[in-house]
Amino acid sequence: MTKPPVVAVVGSPNAGKSTLVNRLSGTRTAVVHETPGVTRDRKEVEVEWAGRRVHLVDTGGYDTSPDAPFAGHVREQVEQAIAAADVVLFVLDGRSGPLADDHVIADALRRARVPVLVVANKMDDPSSTAAAPEIYRLGLGEPLLVSALHGTGSGELLDRLMQETEAAPIDDGAPTSETETPVAIVGRPNAGKSSLFNAIAGETRTIVSEIAGTTRDAIDSVVDTDIGRFRFIDTAGMRKAAKVTGVEYYAYLRSVQSLDRAHVAIVVADATLRFGELDLSICAEAAKRHCATVLAVNKVDLASPDLEGIAGVARRKLRQKPPVVAVSALTRRGVHDLLRTVAGLDARFRAHIPTGELNRALRDLIADRPGPMKRGRRLKTYYVAQFATAPPRLAIEVNDRTLVTRDFGFYVENRLRARFGLDGVPLVIDFKGRR
């Protein structure tokens, strides 16, 4: 498969970079809000147009003011993205014209000697071009007039982008999603999710700070390891929904939605804090969205948590009974074990259990505990088969599904989970009555 060219999207805060990326990709992968500086990290997405494709990298707003939060981190991220890019989209607010930060970015782009397409965004009225001469005087070429919000000029921009990059053709023989494991990294704020991802990737791709909640967007990155290929979604810290407001609310929704795209959720707990209800609720949310789950207890270089106690609580209170792995993002202790656990969970998440083995297991569990009785009628089970994978879904034929009790359903799930090594994996069971 031909590797698509990398296109870095840069600009000053609130120039509309994330809105433009969302427009070009047809997704809503970046949190868009009127507050400047909402995008702090690099977000990556592939864009297809006219049978070609490119790899867009959306960066944080380049802010040179000394009091801007995380300004130094963001500038470093932007400079890394430019260094890795085949082409740069330089996005400016076409209504206001170049700001002081835009002149600094223009100087950096000239030094980088990378092809640049200048995009004058927010041109909702294409006839209003008063700022175009100022943008042209930056010396990076004639600006393309675009309204990312309304889509005006986006087709022309994509045409130019595909020409400039000699974009890779869409390859029907490209690896499918079965060649990689989609993983969501979730957990309470400041548990070390970004640091853990950086330890896995071996490169600082997300801003790591001691201030809780510094990762606001879901950021997809593919990482190749000796264990396999993983698509990581490093999500914003999850708080209880009632406690998040403003832009954090949108990031919270995005992190929850990220679980819908994942096969496996790494729930990061903080070894320096008591393992409690918030950690359990995040695990439960992942299970609710049919993710396999592993508990990664981070910061074991700073504390010695009771791992057996945590595992016991998880097994008692969580139906999926997720495995627990001790890790240190700082020293990389346990990272390899964590990846092996994730790969194993994904393999079982995708696995198909032979029908004969399932029916032997069903007979054994019924022999140990016959079905419940209601109104003088006993539940009878006849047959079980798996009808879907990712996650595994089973259909059990019974005489009358109204006889199935909650406790019996849990019993069947727990026995099958133990029999086939499905701890940490969602198991969906549908009892079907005979017609």
For the chain, list the domains and their CATH numbers.
6-169 (3.40.50.300), 177-350 (3.40.50.300), 355-433 (3.30.300.20)
Q: How far apart are CA 412 and CA 54, in angstroms?
A: 48
Amino acid, res. 359 = N
Average pLDDT per 10 consecutive residues for the chain, totaling 435 residues: 75 84 70 42 71 78 57 64 83 86 85 86 72 82 88 87 69 50 89 88 54 51 84 57 48 63 94 94 92 97 95 95 96 95 96 95 97 95 94 95 95 97 96 84
Amino acid, res. 142 = E
The length of the chain in residues reads 435
The burial of 354, by beta-carbon neighbours within 10 Å (0-12 exposed, 13-18 middle, 19 or more buried), is given as exposed
Amino acid, res. 319 = R
Contact 166, 5 (CB under 8 A): yes
Contact 38, 247 (CB under 8 A): yes
Residue 169 is predicted with a pLDDT of 53
Residue 5 is predicted with a pLDDT of 82
Q: How many CA atoms lie less than 13 Å away from 140 in the CB half-sphere?
A: 32
Q: How far apart are CA 60 and CA 81, in angstroms?
A: 10
- pTM score of the predicted model: 0.60
Contact 414, 429 (CB under 8 A): no
